[in-house]
Amino acid sequence: MLVQDLREKILEGDLSELLHHSKDEDYATEVAKLLESLPRDYAVHTFLELTEEIQIKLFPHLDHVSQRSVVEDMPKQQIANILNNLESNDRVTFFDILDGVEITEYLNLLNDKNRLATYDLLGYPEKSVARLINTNFTTVRKEWTIGQATEHLRRFYTDTPAANVIFVVDNDGKLVDDIPIRRLVLNEHAKTISDIMDGFYVKLDIQDSIDNAIQKFKEYDRVAIPVTNSNNVVMGVVTIDDVIDEAEEKDTKEIQQFGGLESLDLPYVKTPFFTLIRKRAVWLIILFLSEMLTATAMGFFQNELDAALVLSLFVPLIISSGGNSGSQAATLIIRAMALNELTPKKWLYVMRREILSGLTLGLILGIIGFVRISIWQKLGWANYGMKGTGEYWYLTGLTVSLSLIGIVLWGTLSGSMIPMILKRLKIDPATSSAPFVATLVDVTGLIIYFSFAAIILSGTLLKSSDQSPLGISHVGAITMITLAMPPAKNINDIPYALNDSTVRVPLGTGVLQNWHLTQAAGFYQDEDYSLKLAEGWNYYDVILRHPQQNCMVVYPIGEAWKSVDFTHKEAARR
């Protein structure tokens, strides 16, 4: 029967099919998923209506939320029966989701043997192999015949995933070898266990991390690995199904962290809305505050932007290339360390490799960037030169190209070294998420970009303001000087500024003849012939515009102004 059909029958109150299918071990996972998809009340009611045998079989396959929901509405005796009949690793997994008071409460429901074993396993670190071991396993002695071992299995064999492998121990219970159960079946009963041993086995220490267990299962392609204590005595066995679950959970958390958010404790669809917001908001706020440094860096280079606005056109292109290269490097290094291909001890090898990679990738992007600027300039689609003449466009292209090389190199180094540093500090490298690396490279990339611009464009697009006089023009008998002050300039940089709201401009008879004031609402003229800015207006909102000329903020040079030294006034010529 299809799961969807089974779901509809459950909602109708018909549990016959569920009871039938739940007896199939392979179908237990699907039935558990089906129960999780039902409304909570339906799911709990349905589970409680099942037989105890089926409840024990289904309980380990339920997610943590469903397990808690079930036990909250279940009689104590029924809970005790389920917990005492679970495999040891499934029982420990359930206790892991409880708080301190609940752990004590449910431990008291266990029999003495299970309580002692569970209490002992809970004493190990949360991410240690001890949390995964199954204490139901089979051992034989090497001096036994295959016939004796087979009879022993008939009497004590427990049908669990761990039973696929049999462990050979000595008289003290110390591990000697492991043999697959098929080897018993394929050999003569008269042979001894030592005759079919190969002497090679893989084991885990009970203090080993789960990550180490995952790696060993990958390397040796085993379905079960024994776990021993410091004396090599077998304490239990870890099976592949439990390791796969842990590997999936680990990968999910790393992917979430790498995406720039706290890892979720529950599946996405079961995570409460405000919990989801909290876990996402923390990293967003951190990245937002970090990205503010980008605005600070751009403000520091405001003079360069004012003098050569063409530089601002390539800011998104430049910094995104650095961020992308950093994210690529971080992804490669984090994954390589997760697979134990790299360790922090290999940092010098990684650095040399990433320097070469960064230079090569930066050169490729730099060439593409220069070609793009050249084509757009030659076709007349854009002007990357100066004053409309385009005479310095090749310097703009050179600036962009060299900046790309430097920023991509810096991005690859940052993206590769940060995870290794965090690993050395015993911090999860996944926390050096791609957004974090990209933000770092954004800020430092601007410094690299404008530093190249200051060196290459100095004296051309970035002409010094010491060149004067600025914009001298003649209107009739009146000599005018045209100043276009950049918005970032302070009003006190303007000659004859009286205070922060008044620009002193002598307005003699005929001086403003044929000129008119635009945006007149922004200022007014008082009796001392000064242009006074209204509240809320900036000085650059004041515009004197001639009908035949495109002049901005025009000051007449009269007798009183001849002594003014314009060579040291900060103003950009337009």
Q: Model confidence over 52-66: pLDDT tens digits? A: 888 888 898 888 888
Structure tokens at 551: 């002049």
Band of residue 516 on the pLDDT scale cut at 50, 70, 90: very low
**How far apart, in whole angstroms, are the C-alpha atoms of residue 535 and residue 538?**
8
Assign 3-class secondary structure to 271-296. CCHHHHHHHHHHHHHHHHHHHHHHHH
Q: What is the mean pLDDT of residues 439-456?
A: 87
Burial of 13 (0-12, 13-18, 19+ CB in 10 A): exposed
Give the dihedral sign, CA 193/199/204/207: positive
Instruction: Give the confidence band of 298 by pLDDT, cuts at 50, 70, 90.
Output: confident
For the ranges 8-12, 30-34, 457-461, 470-474, which has the lowest average pLDDT? Answer: 470-474
Over pLDDT 90: what percentage of the chain?
Answer: 18
Average pLDDT over residues 478-494: 39
Contact between residue 240 and residue 223 where contact means Cβ atoms under 8 Å apart:
yes
**Exposed e or buried b for every residue in 199-231, given b needs 16+ CB within 10 A?**
eebebbbbebebebbbbbbeeeebebbbbbeee
Cβ atoms of 533 and 501 closer than 8 Å: yes
For residue 141, give the H/E element and its range. Answer: strand 139-141
Phi, psi of 296 (to 5 degrees): -65, -45
- 160 pLDDT band, cuts 50/70/90, is low
Q: Would you tell me how many other CB atoms lie within 10 Å of the CB of residue 289?
A: 10
Rg of the chain, C-alpha, whole Å: 38
Per-residue pLDDT, 306 = 61
- Going by the DSSP 8-state scheme, the letter that residue 572 receives in this structure is B
**Into which CATH architecture does domain 139-251 fall?**
Roll (3.10)
Q: Which H/E stretch holds residue 353?
A: helix 347-378
What is the reported pLDDT for 349?
Answer: 94
Q: Which amino acid is at 62?
A: L
DSSP class of residue 74 equals: S
The phi and psi torsions of 440 (rounded to 5 degrees) equal -60, -45
What confidence score (pLDDT) does residue 573 get? 29
Q: What is the pLDDT of residue 83?
A: 93
Distance between CA atoms of residues 49 and 299, nearest Å:
69
At 403 the pLDDT is 94
Instruction: Identify which of 42, 34, 193, 206 has the alpha carbon closest to the alpha carbon of residue 135.
Output: 206
Report which DSSP code applies to 252: H
What's the pLDDT score for residue 97? 85
Dist CA 169 CA 167 (whole Å)? 6
pLDDT of 414 reads 92
| Six token digits for residue 384 | 């990357």
Q: Rounded distance, CA 323 to CA 128, Å?
A: 36
| Domain at 3-125: CATH code | 1.25.60.10
Average pLDDT over residues 160-168: 77
Element (H, E) at 482: strand 478-482
* Residues 6+ positions from 24 with CB-CB distance below 8 Å: none
Give residue 540's pLDDT band: very low, low, confident or very high (50, 70, 90).
Answer: very low
Beta partners for 264?
none
139 touches 169 (CB < 8 A)? yes
Is the Cα torsion angle 189, 192, 193, 194 positive or negative in sign? negative
Q: Can you say whether the dihedral through the CA atoms of 292, 298, 302, 303 is positive or negative?
A: positive
Query: 320-359: buried (b, 16+ CB within 10 Å) or exposed (e) per residue?
Result: ebbbbbbbbbbbbbbbbbbeeebeeeebeebeeebeebbe
pLDDT attached to residue 26: 58
361: its two tokens: 């990738």
pLDDT of residue 61: 85
State the average pLDDT over residues 309-325: 85
Phi, psi of 517 (to 5 degrees): -95, 120
What does DSSP say about strands 502-503 and 531-533: parallel, antiparallel, or unpaired? Answer: antiparallel
Domain parsing of the chain, residue ranges = 3-125, 139-251, 298-456, 472-568
**β-pair partners for 179:** 166
322 contacts 328 by C-beta, under 8 angstroms: no
Beta-carbon count within 10 A of 103 CB: 16
CA separation, residue 248 to residues 63, 94, 214, 244, 274 (Å)? 14, 18, 10, 6, 25
Confidence (pLDDT) at 153: 83
What is the distance between the alpha carbons of residues 113 and 485, in angstroms, rounded to a whole number?
Answer: 85
Residue 270 token pair: 């079961």
Q: What pLDDT, on a 0 to 100 scale, did the predictor assign at position 352? A: 95
Average pLDDT (176-196) is 89
Residue 398's pLDDT band (cuts 50, 70, 90): very high
Q: How far is CA 306 from CA 46, 302, 558, 573, in A?
A: 71, 6, 29, 10
Q: What are phi and psi of 390, to 5 degrees?
A: 70, 15
How many angstroms separate the CA atoms of 63 and 235, rounded?
A: 27
Tell me what pLDDT residue 191 has: 92
pLDDT in tens, 401-431: 999 999 999 999 999 999 899 888 888 787 6
Between 350 and 519, the higher pLDDT residue = 350
Place of tokens 């039973």: 163
Sheet holding 472-475, edge to edge: 472-475, 478-482, 554-556
298-456 CATH choice from 3.40.640.10, 3.10.580.10, 1.10.357.20, 3.40.228.10: 1.10.357.20
Considering only residues 480 and 262, tell me which one the structure prediction assigns the higher pLDDT: 262
Alpha-carbon distance of 111 to 21, in angstroms, equals: 30
